[in-house]
């Protein structure tokens, strides 16, 4: 059955690939991002581009209302908008920390709240939230990013229980290391926030390792995670969690079977 799907953060990476693949499968796909010019290449696959900042509640409501008015339904919301900002807790401003939560958690929650009345009316729908293996494990200088993803995990798991009676599925996609701009952006933020001061040496080393990892050829391509999202979006009974991509399953498994101090020691050596 063809579905009506809204994807945030669709201008690049995982969101772009998910939008492309779902449109190619014949679904009605709206791809949203802050800069609509970066969505134009999706139109060749049949995706409708939408300008949207998930932190702007009024604008988000207009977008959702317009889609429902045109399509008479909304079957899937993929909350993919988000970013990673690394830096020592002591040196990252509270304003920057709040901005990460505004985008990664509260923007996601806002979009979800806007689509739920229609999905309850349909007694059907799927909410897919992009989390990360970073919502289950931790690394130095990533405290605020990890905090947002741990929050997305708890938010989604609790919401799944609330929405199940209404026929609405809540799904978490938890990628590992993916070949996108995420790693470079995180490294740049780390260099900017902690380039000087007591954390400088460790921060520079971590930023260097992030750039090396995310420029390598062994990490997972966005198209593979996009395919996982497409599968979850179209499944009659999707799984609750899709832990997938380079390093995701081994890292999470290792964190669960060894003491925290052992995990900490390994992560410090790797990073």
Q: Rounded to an integer, what distance in angstroms lies between the CA atom of residue 88 and that of residue 111?
A: 30
**Measured distance CA(56)–CA(128) in Å, rounded:** 20
Count Cβ atoms within 10 A of the Cβ of residue 15 and give its class: 0-12 exposed, 13-18 middle, 19 or more buried: buried
Distance CA 55, CA 111 (A): 9
- Strand bridging mode 168-175 / 76-79: unpaired
Sequence-separated (6 or more) residues with CB below 8 Å from residue 212: none
Give, rounded to a whole angstrom, the gap between the first and last alpha carbons of the chain.
45
The catalytic residues are 145
DSSP alpha helix (H) spans, 106-199: 107-122, 143-163, 182-193
Q: At 270, which helix (H) or strand (E)?
A: helix 260-270
Pairing of strands 168-175, 125-130: parallel
User: Can you tell me the distance from the alpha carbon of 224 to that of 14, in angstroms, rounded to the nearest whole number?
Assistant: 8
Cα–Cα–Cα angle for 188, 191, 193, nearest 5°? 105
Question: What gap in Å lies between CA 264 and CA 130, rounded to an integer?
Answer: 25
């Amino acid at each position: 059955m063809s579905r009506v799907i809204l994807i945030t953060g669709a201008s690049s990476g995982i969101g772009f690939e998910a939008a492309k693949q779902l449109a190619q499968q014949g679904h009605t796909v709206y791809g949203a991002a802050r800069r609509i010019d970066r969505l134009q290449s999706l139109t060749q696959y049949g995706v409708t581009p939408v300008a949207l900042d998930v932190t702007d509640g009024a604008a988000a409501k207009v977008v959702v209302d317009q889609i429902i008015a045109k399509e008479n339904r909304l079957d899937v919301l993929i909350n993919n908008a988000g970013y990673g900002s690394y830096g020592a807790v002591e040196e990252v401003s509270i304003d920057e920390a709040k901005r990460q939560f505004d985008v990664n958690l509260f923007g996601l929650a806002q979009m979800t709240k806007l689509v739920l009345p229609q999905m309850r009316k349909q007694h059907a729908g799927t909410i897919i939230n992009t989390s990360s293996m970073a919502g289950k494990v931790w690394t130095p200088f990533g405290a605020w990013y990890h905090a947002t993803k741990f929050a997305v995990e708890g938010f989604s798991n609790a919401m799944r229980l609330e929405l199940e009676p209404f026929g609405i599925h809540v799904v978490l996609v938890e990628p590992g290391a993916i070949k996108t701009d995420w790693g470079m952006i995180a490294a740049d933020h780390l260099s900017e926030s902690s380039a000087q001061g007591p954390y400088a040496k460790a921060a520079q080393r971590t930023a260097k390792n992030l750039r090396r990892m995310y420029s390598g050829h062994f990490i997972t391509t966005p198209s593979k995670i996009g395919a996982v999202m497409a599968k979850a979006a179209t499944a009659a009974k999707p799984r609750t969690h899709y832990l997938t991509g380079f390093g995701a399953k081994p890292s999470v498994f290792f964190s669960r079977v060894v003491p925290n101090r052992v995990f900490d020691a390994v992560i410090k050596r790797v990073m």
